[in-house]
Amino acid sequence: MNLVFENFFFLLKGAYYTLLLTIMSMFFGLIIGGVVAIARLKGNRPIRLLARGYVSIIRGTPVLIQIFVVYYGLVDYGIVFGPLTAATLALSINVGAYLSETFRGAILSIPKGQMEAAYATGMTSWQALYRIVLPQAARVAIPPMGNTFIGMLKETSLVSFITVTELLRQANLLIAQYYVNMPFYIGIGVMYWVMSTAFSAILEAIEKRLSKAY
């Protein structure tokens, strides 16, 4: 394991990009997921069908293929993205599909009486949704969102295939240099575990805070 400690800061650079990619993808994924969930619940028939098709396609195809489509496939049509931008875009689109289902399920889990009570106070449908339903749905959505966050953190390793300098790529560069595998794989495994545990702790704290509020 000495080689891991000697090259710790080199691996730390990869961990930084892993975290950056995870946070950026989850941020944009949250926006996409929220929009798609609302589209499926409140949109007209064509919009609902479009949103449903998006979710079906993304959930039914491998993440790696989606990354390749964005990074390599779009080049055929003159659309060129840098590795980090392509990775962020592909992962955001992917996680957005999963989060949309999480949000939709959370919203549907709120009793209809909550909306009826909001209407009785003079709120519009959108006011009731944003002021009454969504805050409660957020508490319901946190646990499955945590699983999605952690899954996304681990899926960032796939972007090493398009030369993004995340954690796995950094480890592979060291393996090619030293011709040793196990110490580096164990080392980055521990780093992934630490990051996943930290994310879990943060989301747990948010969930407890929301539980107290509602």
SS (H, E, C) the chain: CHHHHHCHHHHHHHHHHHHHHHHHHHHHHHHHHHHHHHHHHHCCHHHHHHHHHHHHHHHCCCHHHHHHHHHCHHHHHCCCCCHHHHHHHHHHHHHHHHHHHHHHHHHHCCCHHHHHHHHHCCCCHHHHHHHHHHHHHHHHHHHHHHHHHHHHHHHHHHHHHHCCCCHHHHHHHHHHHHCCCHHHHHHHHHHHHHHHHHHHHHHHHHHHHHHHHC
Distance, C-alpha 209 to centroid of its chain: 22
Give the span between the Cα atoms of 1 and 7, in whole angstroms. 10
Q: Express each pLDDT in 79-93 by its tens digit.
A: 999 999 999 999 999
Q: What is the pLDDT of residue 2?
A: 80
pLDDT at 214 over 60: no
Average pLDDT in the 134-138 region?
75
Instruction: Residue 117: count other Cβ atoms within 10 Å of its Cβ.
Output: 13
Q: Where are the domains of the chain?
A: 2-213
pLDDT at 73 over 90: yes
pTM for this model (two decimals): 0.86
Q: What is the pLDDT of residue 104?
A: 87
**CATH architecture for residues 2-213:** Orthogonal Bundle (1.10)
Q: What is the pLDDT of residue 213?
A: 56
Q: What is the pLDDT of residue 117?
A: 73
